[in-house]
Amino acid sequence: MAARLTLRDVNLHFGGVKVLEDVGFEVEPGLVFGLVGPNGAGKTSLFNCISGHYRPSSGSIRIDDTEVLGSRPATLARHGLARTFQHPALQLRETVLENVMLGAHKRLPGGPVEWSLRLPRMTRTEKELRAEALELLERHGLLWAANLHADELSHGLHKGIELCRALLMRPKLLLLDEPAAGLPHSEVEQLIETVKRLRAEDDVTIVIVEHHMGLIAALTDRVVVLDHGRKLMEGTAAEAQSDPRVIEAYIGKDAADDAA
């Protein structure tokens, strides 16, 4: 079941530097939500707070009714959160299938002792997860690459592999960190269709950090715009693109005045 994500007054300080200040918003279950803003706005830092890679200085982050502020990524995975990265974190010398199977770790039964003994329950579950991983690869047009090493494939295909790995976790909340970064136009169009299909077929809430406003406009129900670590506005992508504050944040006050 898709999760609700709620942030209240999230602050992140590194020493005396305020990276995030009182950021808050709520993502309803099943929505595609965009997190946008100019370079240095704090988007990735906020993603890192949500996914447990940074510990916020204060505030509240809830998945459904569970407070997860400061939780580690492994704990968040148990609450249904999965994430991709701007630069896919793959094991390049492993096969595509092996990389996808890494997403199954939290779904394996028992613990290290049972895993090492290779008991029947473990073997049966691994076989089922392998079949599910192959189905995901087929669904995303990557089955042909299942037995190739990841370092034989392109950056765009790496992003597809990482998405399959995240989906094998069966997330309730999926965070996509700049999924269009480095992709040619044709692959961006494929990505848009992929996310639309996820929305239609999977019971998951999706939050996207992205600079590509065409993708944001095509996919999202709502967006939050950050600027200098603070929430600038919240609304639809169309409202954000026409908001003078957002235009000023992206292109500067003088250019915004000229455009007006």
- Region 147-158: mean pLDDT is 93
Residue 103 lies in a domain: yes
Of the three residues 107, 125, 154, the one that is the final residue of a domain is 154
Residues 53 and 181 in one domain: yes
- Both 148 and 204 in one domain: the answer is no
pLDDT value of residue 119? 59
Q: What CATH number did the domain enclosing 39 receive?
A: 3.40.50.300
Full DSSP string of 178-202: STTTT--HHHHHHHHHHHHHHHHHS
| 64 and 15 fall within a common domain | yes
Would residue 207 count as lying in a domain?
yes
CB 161 within 8 A of CB 88: yes
- Residue type for position 216: I
162 DSSP assignment? H
Name residue 56's amino acid: P
pLDDT at res. 16? 85
* pLDDT at residue 57 is higher than 80: yes
Is position 39 within any domain?
A: yes
What strands, in cross-sheet order, belong to the sheet with 58-63? Answer: 17-27, 5-14, 58-63, 66-67
The neighbour count for residue 146, using CB atoms within 10 Å, is: 17
Residues 231 and 196 in one domain: yes
Work out how many domains the chain is built from and give that number: 2
**Domain for residue 164, yes or no?**
no
pLDDT band at 216 (very low <50, low <70, confident <90, very high): very high
Q: Percent of the chain, pLDDT > 70?
A: 90
Regarding whether 95 and 53 lie in a shared domain, the answer is no
**Residue 58 and residue 179 in one domain:** yes
> Are 33 and 145 in a shared domain?
no
Quick check: is 160 in a domain? no
Find the domain containing 236 and state its range.
5-80+171-259
Q: What is the pLDDT of residue 116?
A: 60
Q: Are residues 146 and 187 in the same domain?
A: no
Final residue of a structural domain among 120, 154, 188: 154
Asked, for residue 179, whether it belongs to a domain, the answer is yes
CA of 32: how far to CAs of 2, 110, 148, 212, in Å? 11, 34, 32, 15
Please provide the size of the chain in residues.
260
pLDDT grade, residue 259 (50/70/90)? very low
Domain shared by 187 and 120, yes or no: no
Counts for the chain of helices (H) and strands (E), in that order: 11, 10
Can you give the pLDDT at residue 256? 45
Q: Flag the least confident range among 128-142, 187-201, 241-255.
A: 241-255
Is residue 29 in some structural domain?
A: yes
Predicted confidence at residue 253, as pLDDT, reads: 46
Question: What are the pLDDT digits (tens) for 61-115?
Answer: 999 999 999 999 989 999 999 999 988 889 989 999 999 998 887 766 555 545 5
Average pLDDT of the chain to the nearest whole number: 89
Domain membership flag for residue 159: no
pLDDT of residue 63: 97
**What 3-state class would DSSP assign to 69?**
coil
Each residue's pLDDT tens digit, 4-28 = 999 999 999 998 899 999 999 999 9
Kindly report the number of other CB atoms within 10 A of residue 144's CB atom.
10
Rounded average pLDDT over 216-234: 95
Q: Are 15 and 140 part of one and the same domain?
A: no
Are 49 and 19 in contact by the 8 Å Cβ rule? The answer is no
Q: Which amino acid makes up residue 240? A: A
In sequence order, the 6+-apart residues with CB closer than 8 A to the CB of 66 are 79
Find how far residue 16's CA is from the centre of its chain.
28
* Same-domain pairing of 149 and 184: no
pLDDT reported for residue 255: 41
Of 154, 181, 201, the domain-final residue: 154
- Per-residue pLDDT tens over the stretch 154-191: 988 999 999 999 999 999 999 999 998 888 888 889 99
